Amino acid sequence: MNNRSKVIQKRIMKLKEKRNAAILSHNYQRPEIQEIADFIGDSLELAVKATKINAEIIVFCGVDFMAETAAILNPDKKVIIPSADAKCPMAAQLPAGLVRKAKENNPDVPFVIYVNSHAEARAEADVCCTSANADRIVEQLNSDTIMLGPDANLAWYAQRKARKRVIPIPSNGYCYVHRAFRKEHVSKVRREYPDAAVIVHPECDPEVQLSADFVGSTSQMLKFAKKTDYERIIVGTELGLIQRMRREIPDKSFIPLNSVICFNMKKNTLENLLNAIEKETNAVNVPPSVAERAKKPIKRMVEIS
């Protein structure tokens, strides 16, 4: 990291104290942001942490849907995001109208909504899930058939683990980052590194999941990496997590399954983080009527988890 970055980090740390702000960072954020965060985690950990924050301002370093969750759970706090353009494209694949229509067509089937969705869509659903708990949520619902969206690969993962029928809504929702991992990449690394473990995210295609040794959320992958006896681990998710693994587990080696980054997550930089905290800009506001309804499925998820 260069000197300029270190200077900006120091300015952010000072302002953070002065403004009584807390910085939450997703595992995919740039290393220089993760280094100054009060807490780093996956979507579930961040949602739970957001309910326990003792600060007036939450600076959410992640994408829009994550910051919306923090805002919904903290109506008395100001939630700001470094870049207003840090938006997850998958969330846009499930508009609220699609959830309503699916529920009209299947009135007795619960709708589990992936947290990678917007507040308006969540307000229509029965319960939220993240990649860390989709299987458990599906398993615990009192129905043999469940609807889950927008990620069709996560729906496939939950169906396989919970042994229930899971209908993906829409049928083809996906993440462009995780779609870049192919079965051929797994075959190639298996040949090159026969002694390594392959771990991937449930947003990867089913054939990639089936060829891996472990499938889990970003923080579940981190926990696996910390506990396993494997010394070399091939990681099928965004680069930010691999950088965290290398920082926190220096005695093991981590190799990307394919070098991919989420450009949307990377829109947050030290510079716009400093600007946002200095000027308290990019406040994340969810209309109270939507927030009230969107809170129920999130709370239900936190309770079940």
Angle between helices 3-19 and 270-279 (to 10 degrees): 30
Which partner, ligand SF4, ligand 13P, none, binds residue 264 by CB below 5 to 8 Å per kind? ligand SF4
When the beta carbons of 64 and 277 are compared against ligand 13P, the nearer one is 64
Q: Is residue 264 a contact residue for ligand SF4 (CB under 6 A)?
A: yes
Sheet holding 111-114, edge to edge: 127-129, 111-114, 145-149, 165-168
Residues 7-36 close enough to bind ligand 13P by CB under 6 A = 27
Decide the pairing of beta strands 127-129 and 145-149: unpaired
Q: Is residue 109 a contact residue for ligand 13P (CB under 6 A)?
A: no
- Which of 194, 266, 199 is CA-nearest to residue 234? 199
DSSP summary character for residue 91: G
Residues 101-160 close enough to bind ligand SF4 by CB under 6 A = 116
CA atoms within 13 A on the CB side of 184: 2
From residue 186 to residue 205, the character string flagging contacts with ligand SF4 as x (rule: CB under 6 A) and all else as - is: -----------------x--
* Of the candidate residues 89, 95, 170, 206, the single one contacting ligand SF4 (CB under 6 A): 89
Which residues in 233-243 are b (16+ Cβ under 10 Å) and which e? Answer: bbbbbbbbbbb
Q: Is residue 83 a contact residue for ligand 13P (CB under 6 A)?
A: no
Q: Is residue 67 a contact residue for ligand SF4 (CB under 6 A)?
A: no
Q: In angstroms, what is the minimal distance from the CB of 202 to ligand 13P?
A: 8
SS3 299: helix
> And the tokens for 189?
């690394």
Which partner, ligand 13P, ligand SF4, none, binds residue 189 by CB below 5 to 8 Å per kind? none
Residues in the site for ligand 13P, rule: CB under 6 A? Answer: 27, 42-43, 116, 130-131, 175, 203, 217-218
Residues in the site for ligand SF4, rule: CB under 6 A? Answer: 63, 88-90, 116, 175-177, 203, 238, 262, 264-265
